[in-house]
Amino acid sequence: MRTLQVRSHKQFECINITSQVQKLIKDSGVKDGIVTIYCPHTTAAITINEGADPSVVKDLLYELDKVIPLRDNYQHLEGNSAAHIKSSIIGCSESVIIENGSLVLGTWQAIFFCEFDGPRNRKVFVKIIGK
């Protein structure tokens, strides 16, 4: 398993980690296989969405914040329940096919680390399986 260090700079932020994941695949020498990208945090997530236009993930964060407001009648005393809920909705991992040593993504797709309770130093676990 490999670990990416991700530094978020805002409370809510989607950080494109595609090139970092691709570099780990290249370094591994795996040509055909699967990569799992896993977020070991309860107030962050991993998603795949459009990377060409940065407005897409901004809209994603904007709408999530409307649906899951920062303040509500939450019981969790730490005060970051909205971030926990967003983490569960988006999910903590994605798996992507590797072919010819490259991620198989759609033309407009990118892999994002989603920060919901930043800024913080975060980790992303990456497991590459194949030959």
* Residue whose C-beta lies closest to Zn ion: 78
Is 93 within 8 Å of 102 (Cβ atoms)? no
Q: How far is the CB of 45 from Zn ion (least distance, A)?
A: 14
- Helix (H), strand (E) at residue 72: none
Return the residues of window 4-43 that contact Zn ion according to CB under 5 A.
Answer: none
Q: Which residue has the tokens 């709408």?
A: 63
Say how many residues touch Zn ion, by CB under 5 A: 2
Nearer to Zn ion, 13 or 117 (CB): 117
Token output for 81: 């329940």
CA distance 45 to 116: 8
Q: How far is the CB of 70 from Zn ion (least distance, A)?
A: 13
CA distance 88 to 100: 33
Nearer to Zn ion, 78 or 99 (CB): 78
Return the residues of window 39-98 that contact Zn ion according to CB under 5 A.
Answer: 78, 80
Count of beta carbons in the 10 Å neighbourhood of residue 50: 17
Nearer to Zn ion, 15 or 83 (CB): 83
Q: How far is the CB of 44 from Zn ion (least distance, A)?
A: 12
Q: How far is the CB of 93 from Zn ion (least distance, A)?
A: 20
CA-nearest of 126, 93, 94, 103 to 33 is: 103
Q: Which residues bind Zn ion (CB under 5 A)?
A: 78, 80
